Amino acid sequence: ADICHCLLCRPHCIITGNAVLSCVCQEVTVLFSRSCYVWFCFSLFDICICSYSVPAGESEDHASNRKQRSKLSLQMYLQCSRSFHGTLTFRHLHLLDQVYYGQAKCMLQRVGTWNFDIFLFDRLTNGESLVCLTLELFCKYGLIELFGLDPLRLHSFLVRIQEGYRSRNPYHNSLHAADVTQAMYCYLQEPKLSESLTSWDILLALLAAATHDLEHPGVNQNFLLKNDHFLASLYQNSVLENHHWKSALSHLRESGLLSHLPIEDRHRMEERLGSLILATDISRQNEFLSRFKAHLDRKDLNMSSPEHRQFILQMALKCADICNPCRPNSLSTCWSHCVTKEFFQQGDVERAHRHDVSPLCDRHSNSVAIIQKSFISYVVEPLFVQWARFCDTPLSHCMLGYMKQNKKYWSNAGQEDLMDNAQTTCCKVLPRGT
Ligand SMILES: Nc1ncnc2c1ncn2[C@@H]1O[C@@H]2COP(=O)(O)O[C@H]2[C@H]1O
Ligand SMILES: [Zn+2]
């Protein structure tokens, strides 16, 4: 296990292109067959597999065996990697059904569509949606080649990020990060962005989306302040967002993902990552919204300016972060229940400790519907109206359409608590297949 840990998490050297596959495959085959583990593959690393050519001296048969093996699930590798980190016991280890894996891969063909069902994708990937989705997007943009990234380091970094989200949080977990990353990808496709963003912008946008809530404790800043939590003493303001940023930096540095790049580029990247993540502090909503409106009124946004591009990326990440009420109703209601569950859990703890229950967190005076109606009207709608003004595309108007439908849905829903229904709809476990 030590050797595997070393190999899987800290590859010896940076190798790019085809060499990675051959090197990794050979070494890990030996290790895995020795320790009776199933073979694993890099199926989602399509970019590597597709571009893999038979090395000189290797027979076609050998190459086709290699291809066969590569069809086995990435999931197996991820699960194994997790157990080497000691975060999973073998009790949790079960192999991903190949049927589900095929379906997940199929879903990725439509990763840029707004009705992408991230809940289903997460179940099909056995809870690995953040890793699978982000890898896919890195491959789509060719970021691995463009930045000379080591695929193993990238993979190890993403696994650590995914594990850095608390799965116990009903809302602020890795599924939310995957959802935000998928939304960010949709926004990056918008012509105003896609025509002007640089590869650095895209790399940064995807990293920021994937890490923006890293190590979220499942309670809000108010709770941390009231309870003299150590995080509250570390940062003056935007306590959680600063913590997400610093956690992202520590994973980034530890993984060595960007360590081959010039130090100035890395520093610039880290600063920009901070400015994006800090922009997701919902208490700064009005500040960003008025700046955005002022730019739109003056029509002075110039996407060839690096400062303006950074500002638009901040706005895009803010939209992605709270876009759940703009998703189709079946997805949106799931998120509404998840976020309310987290609010109410905090309220229950506050009540148990005889503290004042924070706004929105009291299950006795709130309901999902009440919270949604005000969140949509006062927070989501003002932002997405301006975003549609900026983009003026089918997607931006489609999001407004869904948002209106959801607002109507919650207005008609009355005050009853629909939490139980939501549990069965959103957290459905897939039946074991063949
Ligand atoms: N559907 C929703 N209903 C109510 N609040 C939400 C919803 N989606 C996101 N939020 C809030 O928006 C906040 C965005 O920043 P946070 O991730 O810190 O915490 C998020 C939640 O508090
Ligand atoms: Zn978030």
DSSP for 251-315?
A: HHHHHTTTTTS-HHHHHHHHHHHHHHHHTT-GGGHHHHHHHHHHHHHHT---TTSHHHHHHHHHH
324 lines ligand 1 (CB under 6 A): yes
Dihedral of the alpha carbons of 96, 176, 120, 37, in degrees to the nearest 10: 0
Question: Number of C-alpha atoms within 13 angstroms, CB side, residue 94?
Answer: 8
Q: Which residues contact 385 (CB under 8 A, 6 or more apart)?
A: 400
Q: Which ranges constitute the DSSP H helices of 125-195?
A: 129-140, 143-146, 151-164, 174-188, 191-194
375 lines ligand 1 (CB under 6 A): yes
179, amino acid identity: D
- Please say whether the beta carbons of 308 and 301 come within 8 A: yes
Arithmetic mean of pLDDT, 360-379 = 97
Residue nearest to atom 21 of ligand 1 (CA): 339
371 lines ligand 1 (CB under 6 A): yes
Q: Residue 173 annotated as binding?
A: yes
Token pair of 18 as six digits: 């085809």
Token pair of 346 as six digits: 């905090």
Q: H or E element: which one contains 22?
A: helix 18-34
Other beta carbons within 10 Å of 368: 24
322 lines ligand 1 (CB under 6 A): yes
- Tens of pLDDT, residues 196-247: 999 999 999 999 999 999 999 999 999 999 999 999 999 999 999 999 999 9
DSSP-derived letter for residue 325 is G
Q: Residue 423 annotated as binding?
A: no
User: Would residue 126 be called left, alpha or beta, if left means φ above 0 and alpha means ψ between -120 and 50 degrees?
Assistant: left
| DSSP output for 340-384 | HHHHHHHHHHHHHTTPPPPTT--TTT--HHHHHHHHIIIIIHHHH
Distance 322 CA to ligand 1 centre (A): 6
For residues 180 and 39, what is the distance between their CA atoms, to the nearest angstrom? 32
Confidence of residue 381 (pLDDT cuts 50, 70, 90): very high
For residues 147 and 331, what is the distance between their CA atoms, to the nearest angstrom? 35
Domain with CATH 1.10.1300.10 in the chain: 89-427
Token pair of 166 as six digits: 């608390």
Report whether pLDDT(114) > 50.
Answer: yes
Residue nearest to atom 1 of ligand 1 (CA): 336
DSSP-derived letter for residue 323 is -
Q: Whose atoms come closest to the Cα of 218: which ligand?
A: 1
For residues 248 and 250, what is the distance between their CA atoms, to the nearest angstrom? 6
Report whether pLDDT(313) > 60.
Answer: yes
Q: Which residue in the block uniquely carries the two structure tokens 């895209």?
A: 202
Q: H or E element: which one contains 239?
A: helix 239-255
Catalytic residues: 172
- Please say whether the beta carbons of 91 and 119 come within 8 A: no
Whole-structure pTM value: 0.79
For residues 322 and 331, what is the distance between their CA atoms, to the nearest angstrom? 13
Domain 89-427: CATH superfamily, name plus number = 3'5'-cyclic nucleotide phosphodiesterase, catalytic domain (1.10.1300.10)
ipTM of model: 0.99
Q: Residue 5 annotated as binding?
A: no
- Tens of pLDDT, residues 252-285: 999 999 999 999 999 999 999 999 999 999 999 9
205, amino acid identity: A
Q: Whose atoms come closest to the Cα of 406: which ligand?
A: 1
What pLDDT, on a 0 to 100 scale, did the predictor assign at position 311?
98
Orientation of helix 263-278 relative to helix 239-255, angle to 10°: 150
- Please say whether the beta carbons of 130 and 183 come within 8 A: no
Token pair of 30 as six digits: 């030996």
169 lines ligand 1 (CB under 6 A): no
Confidence of residue 8 (pLDDT cuts 50, 70, 90): very low
Q: Residue 175 annotated as binding?
A: yes
Distance 177 CA to ligand 2 centre (A): 7
Distance 241 CA to ligand 2 centre (A): 10
Report whether pLDDT(248) > 60.
Answer: yes
For residue 74, give the nearest of 113, 121, 38 by alpha carbon: 38
Percent of the chain surpassing pLDDT 90:
71
Residue nearest to atom 14 of ligand 1 (CA): 282
Residue nearest to atom 2 of ligand 1 (CA): 336
Distance 336 CA to ligand 1 centre (A): 9
- Tens of pLDDT, residues 123-151: 999 899 999 999 999 999 999 999 999 99
Q: Which residue has the higher pLDDT, 349 or 34?
A: 349
Q: Whose atoms come closest to the Cα of 320: which ligand?
A: 2
What pLDDT, on a 0 to 100 scale, did the predictor assign at position 73?
41
213 lines ligand 1 (CB under 6 A): yes
Phi first, then psi, for residue 134 (nearest 5°) are: -65, -40
Other beta carbons within 10 Å of 143: 20
Distance 169 CA to ligand 1 centre (A): 13
Annotate 75-105 with three-state secondary structure: HHHHHHHHHHHCCCCHHHCCCCCHHHHHHHH
- Please say whether the beta carbons of 189 and 112 come within 8 A: yes
Mean pLDDT lowest for which of 230-244, 341-355, 412-426?
Answer: 412-426
Other beta carbons within 10 Å of 218: 16
281 lines ligand 1 (CB under 6 A): no
Q: H or E element: which one contains 123?
A: helix 118-124
383, amino acid identity: L
DSSP-derived letter for residue 43 is T
Three-class secondary structure of residue 165 per DSSP: coil
For residues 149 and 136, what is the distance between their CA atoms, to the nearest angstrom? 14
Q: Residue 251 annotated as binding?
A: no
What pLDDT, on a 0 to 100 scale, did the predictor assign at position 426?
61
**What's the mean pLDDT when you consider all of the chain?**
81
